[in-house]
Amino acid sequence: MTRMPLDPANPFATPSALDLELPDFAATTPATVREALRAGLDEQRAEWDAIAADEEPATVENTLVALERTGQLLSRVLPVAFTLMESIGGEEWDALEAEFMPQLAAHADALHLNARIFRRLESLERARALLALDPETSWLLDEYLRDFRRAGIGLPEDDQERLKDLNQRITAAETGFSQRATKALEEAAQLFTDPEDLAGLDGETLDALAQAARDRGRAGWLVTLLSPTQQPLLTRLEKAATRERLMAASLARGDGHDPDSDTRHLILTLARLRAERARLLGHATHAAAVAEEGTARSADAVAERLAALAPAAARNARSEGERLAGLAEGPFTAADWAYHSERLRRQLFAVDDDVLRPYLELGSVLVKGVFWAAERLYGITFHEREDLAGFAPEVRAWEVRDEDGRTLALFLGDYYARKGKRGGAWMHNLVDQSRLLGRRPVVMNTLNITKPAEGEPTLLTWDEVTTCFHEFGHALHGMFSDVTYPSLSGTDVPRDFVEFPSQVNEMWMANRAVVANFARHHRTGEPLPDELLDRLVAMGSYGQGFATSEYLAAALLDQAWHRLTPEEVPDDAGAVAAFEAAALEAAGLAWELVPPRYRSGYFNHAFGGGYDANYYSYIWAEVLDADTVEWFTGEGAIDGDGGLNRVAGQRFRDEVLSRGNSRDPLESFRAFRGRDADITPLLRRRGLQ
């Protein structure tokens, strides 16, 4: 049925008049998004049909460039839809997500299973030698051909129909998992009415927890949870019973105690459907299909890397656990690990979050730390734009200018947790950079920091500072993108490469010049004492046995689910816990004191879509990261600056950050580093030698 054209009054009908086409969130409603999505899907489908029906011989302009120019309306509305679905949530946005995600899966199939367009691409491939393609256009052609072939263009018609059905069902199940995981996160929040239960927390933290309770119409102190198993407050809560209650709530998410947030049936559904799709496409498992698309190239390579790291990590974790158990005055459980680890860290290094937090105010960390480091490395400057509104009062916007004063990008930050918001932290684009379309990037960072009481400062833990620097590394990857074609822009690289720039950016949070600039007491303005920074640096690989083990447990669990054949996937939701336990036992990481960073029931990376069979990518990319950090602090350093200089920064920007997916990402690494990556720096960092 032909749909009506989009109402010209719809805010997505034309490009936004705001700077750099920043979306007009103030004019956006679920109704305007729904209308624009419908029209955008129809519009791009018609554009694809026109390319397919073109009777002229295929050329770069009428095929590749034409494909890159399609979908302008959809490119305006989709980032806004995803932003509001993930950061605002609620019934209307959840319903919209459930309605359109399967349609978007079908839409992707409409392109990648279009035989006429594929034949045009093949004709360009055959004529490549005569076309004298520039390197980026040649890479774009290869990417399209790879995408079509991986998506099933070579399958018989009946199998293609089966594939379309699988893709839509998978997307619907991923959406359901993500929404249930968000609901479970909210329901797992713990309300305390006796302040004695929260002994160990300072007044500012208690005020923030009281504000969280008031925001939800409740009296007392509400501890909201973050996505991972371990919760930040576990390091500071003195009462073992409180720690146990918080840990139990975290571990129980999605396990079936609440039918409305039970995710187990969706885990099994997704494991089975993904396995069926992989087999249909000629792969042994979903893990094999995913690895082929990354820089790892094979599931066996992934398995070998993880298996090589797991034994040493487990040994280190057990050694750490024995030492921590000696500090406990009673039973020692997983809920106690973080608390006693902080106690031991305090004994060994005289450093803990209570000592550090007064020096780690969010605004200072951002402006005088995250931004300041980027200014010194890359020559850019940040100018807050209070006239540019976001979708919530807390969202802030900055205009980013290049060294010559020209506007490079817009950067938005949404740092506080709110009801309905998806847990975790992430970066995404609102506008993709493209020279072809004349667009500069608009990027966002999203975190879930507990909002303080009115008038109080937002004080961070050292881990939250790490997250700020990490997510901004993704933002730099998006903002520095300098490519022609929008589909190759910014962070649109393989999953096992995308974490590389973000992990590199974490190094600057411990650079002495950077810390001296941002770490100042929020009341007195006094800088973080040098001896405190010395102790932070001296900690080295402290706690890495635990950190590496909990990460590897999650990565191996993700692999285990996605290395199953359809016949091997259990039928009963009650089997999820048993499968998880067996997978961890097989990996040598089944230890109740160190649960996985994410258990299956709330593993949104793996079952909400995006990082399925790909959670290994963090450690995979960390090989590149650790090697790069050694370059910055060695060859790239000037007069002991630890690499914080324009020459080093420009080299990283030119060879990695600006390239997007315009060439093989490992070629970008080699161009930067002068060789392939060496795993030795990672082993040193993690204490795994």
Cβ–Cβ under 8 Å, residues 365 and 518: yes
CA 217 to chain centre: 31
Strands (E), 177-290: 190-192, 221-223
Give the list of residues 6+ apart from residue 163 with CB closer than 8 angstroms, or none.
109, 113, 152, 155, 277, 280, 281
Q: How far apart are CA 344 and CA 676, in angstroms?
A: 38
How much is the pLDDT for 198?
Answer: 98
Question: How many C-beta atoms surround the C-beta of residue 571 within 10 A?
Answer: 8
Tell me the CATH number for domain 19-112+114-150. 1.20.1050.40
- Sheet harboring 426-431: ordered strands across? 381-384, 396-401, 407-416, 442-449, 426-431
The dihedral of CA 310, 312, 313, 314: what is its sign? positive
Q: What is the CATH topology of the domain spanning 358-538+619-686?
A: Neurolysin; domain 3 (1.10.1370)
> What is residue 294's DSSP assignment?
S
How much is the pLDDT for 2?
Answer: 54
Cβ–Cβ under 8 Å, residues 285 and 562: yes
> What is residue 3's DSSP assignment?
P
DSSP 39-106: HHHHHHHHHHHHHHH--SPP-IIIIIIHHHH--HHHHHHHHHHHHHHHHT-SHHHHHHHHHHHHHHHH
Number of residues written out for the chain: 689
Cβ–Cβ under 8 Å, residues 432 and 441: yes
pLDDT along the chain (689 residues), means of 10: 79 97 97 98 98 98 98 98 96 96 97 98 96 97 98 98 98 97 96 97 94 95 96 96 98 93 97 98 98 96 96 96 93 97 91 90 98 98 96 97 98 96 96 98 97 94 95 98 98 96 96 95 94 84 94 98 98 97 97 98 94 97 97 95 97 98 98 97 91
How far are the Cα atoms of 332, 337, 584, 605 from residue 592, in angstroms, in the given order? 11, 11, 10, 22
How far are the Cα atoms of 252, 324, 336, 460 from residue 331, in angstroms, in the given order? 21, 11, 9, 30
The dihedral of CA 293, 297, 301, 306: what is its sign? negative
User: Which tokens sit at 13?
Assistant: 């009908």
How much is the pLDDT for 546?
Answer: 97
User: Which tokens sit at 673?
Assistant: 């580093």
Please check whether the two domains, 259-351+543-615 and 358-538+619-686, share a CATH topology.
yes
Give the residue numbers annotated as catalytic, written as ranges: 471
Q: Three-state SS for 561? A: helix
The residue type at 686: R
Q: How far apart are CA 279 and CA 302, in angstroms?
A: 19
Q: How far apart are CA 307 and CA 301, in angstroms?
A: 10
Q: Three-state SS for 595? A: coil
Question: How many C-beta atoms surround the C-beta of residue 415 within 10 A?
Answer: 23
How much is the pLDDT for 56?
Answer: 97
How much is the pLDDT for 1?
Answer: 44
Sequence ranges of the domains in the chain: 19-112+114-150, 188-251, 259-351+543-615, 358-538+619-686
Give the list of residues 6+ apart from residue 149 with CB closer than 8 angstroms, or none.
none
Cβ–Cβ under 8 Å, residues 501 and 474: yes
How much is the pLDDT for 3?
Answer: 63
pTM of the predicted structure, to 2 decimals? 0.95
How much is the pLDDT for 408?
Answer: 98
Cβ–Cβ under 8 Å, residues 521 and 356: no
User: Strands 381-384 and 396-401: what pairing?
Assistant: antiparallel
Burial class (CB in 10 A: 0-12, 13-18, 19+), 495: buried
DSSP 510-546: G-HHHHHHH-B-TTT-PBPPHHHHHHHHHTTTTTHHH
Q: How far apart are CA 371 and CA 374, in angstroms?
A: 5
Tell me the CATH number for domain 259-351+543-615. 1.10.1370.10
